[in-house]
Structure 1
Amino acid sequence: MIVAGLGFSSTAKLDSLRAAFDRARNGQRVDALATVADKDGHPALVEFASAIALPLHFVAPADLAGQRTLTCSNRSRANYGTGSVAEASALAVAGSGARLTSPRQISDDRLATCAIAIGGQT
């Protein structure tokens, strides 16, 4: 499974999420979206998931801390114990043996990030 992990500010808009997603995806097929559970119900997230018709998975904050990320945001580290909510969410949902195919990409307005992970091949 190929998962797009999202991290974003409470002030992020639909365009913020779309820009980060498009930058990270770079034409790659994506099967699902993932983000930290405390973003459940965020209006821009609900609208974005509906617009691109992908299932949305929520990751408990404690499950983000164990994920090794390629990039590091001080805010993500302080709030969630991980360098990147986007990368950690994508890896957590993609499953055991997952790897990043695109590290965290940032929207132009700097309100959203997205990273892509592919599940481990068995």
Structure 2
Amino acid sequence: MIVAGFGFRGAATRASLEQALAAAGGPPIDLLAAPEDKADAACLTDLAAALGLPVCSIDAATLAAIDTPTQAERVLAARGTGSVAEAAALAAAGPGATLISARRISADRLATCAIASGDPR
């Protein structure tokens, strides 16, 4: 399973997420993932509908428990993980998941996306 994990600010748009996803590249995506407090955001649900993909919401404790290769101090202080996008992708992809693409930032700097591969079982 290939998962695109997202982190984004409240002002992010579907275009922000699309830009971050395009920057992350990778193989075809099976699932989108985001923190549970943002999983219902219009920008993400619009993207999911356009792509015909489900959204997996990841709780804060799970995100904070994942050590990510990217370490943004602001994100670490706010969310307990260095990269929300990387943590969400890894969590949704399941135990033993690996990153295909570390977080990439949208052109407007409102969204990040990382891609992971794994077997969610």
Taking structure 1 as the reference length, what is the TM-score of the superposition? 0.94
CA shift at 1:11, angstroms? 0.4
CA distance in 2, matches of 1:45, 1:29: 17
CA shift at 1:82, angstroms? 0.1
CA shift at 1:74, angstroms? 2.0
CA distance in 2, matches of 1:87, 1:110: 16
Q: Is the 8 A contact 1:90 1:117 kept in 2?
A: yes
Aligned to 1:86: 85
- Give a deviation string over 1:43-77, Cα, whole Å, max 9, x none: 11111111111110000011011111111122221
Aligned to 2:38: 39
Runs of 4+ in 1 over 6 A off after TM superposition: none
Q: Percent identity?
A: 50
Q: How many residues align?
A: 121
Secondary structure, aligned partner of 1:114: strand
CA distance in 1, matches of 2:118, 2:91: 9
- Give a deviation string over 1:64-104, Cα, whole Å, max 9, x none: 11111111122221111000000000000100100101000
Aligned to 1:62: 61
Secondary structure, aligned partner of 2:37: helix
Aligned to 2:48: 49
Aligned to 1:99: 98
Structure 1, unaligned runs of 5 or more: none
- The aligned amino acid for 2:47 is F
Bigger CA drift: 36-45 or 84-93?
36-45
Q: CA RMSD in A?
A: 1.6
Secondary structure, aligned partner of 2:34: strand
Secondary structure, aligned partner of 2:88: helix
Correspondence 1:68-79 to 2 at 5 A = 68-79=67-78
Q: Is the 8 A contact 2:2 2:115 kept in 1?
A: yes
CA shift at 1:40, angstroms? 2.7
Structure 2, unaligned runs of 5 or more: none
